[in-house]
Amino acid sequence: MAAFAVSGAGAQQPSGKVLVAYFSHSGNTREVARQISEATGGDLFEIVPATPYPTEYRAVVDQGKKEIEAGVRPALKNPVGDLSQYDVIFVGSPCWWATIAPPVATFLTSYDFAGKTVVPFMTHEGSGMEHSEADIRRFCPRSTVPDGLAVRGSAVRNSKDEVGRWVRTRLKNGF
């Protein structure tokens, strides 16, 4: 569980560093990640597959489904570096076929998150979190994984207040 400190203004902040890691295909998850980073002061890290996904909607949907069904863990373009400096890691993904996108699964299975708080957030167009939280808990069995935030993709541009309230509540309650 993450530790917290009270700043001079009285707002609670994690006492360790925060990382906001995300994969975004359309830009929605990137925007929510930016909002979380702004609310927490956390470092942003984009999870980028070594081979980009197709831009055409049907092609990416088909590829994502095949990868998820086969348990594919696509190679990533960029390593995160020293994860030991972070106590709280927000992990974001679009909801693809009821779970996290394969590059996020690769990220979660490539590092040791033991003792860290891994906070899920998802963008979707009606499915919400689906199995994402359970899957993240399975990938990070020695981490604290609290309930996450689901933001409808069509509402992302107007979600700053909702995201800010969610982050403040999580920080106040220690996740």
8 A C-beta contact, residue 32 and residue 154: no
pLDDT tens per residue across all 175 residues of the chain: 343 333 333 344 555 799 999 999 999 999 999 999 999 999 999 999 999 999 998 999 999 999 999 999 999 999 998 999 999 999 999 999 999 999 999 999 999 999 999 999 999 998 889 999 999 999 999 999 999 999 999 999 999 999 999 999 988 888 7
CA 108 to CA 115: how far, in whole Å? Answer: 14
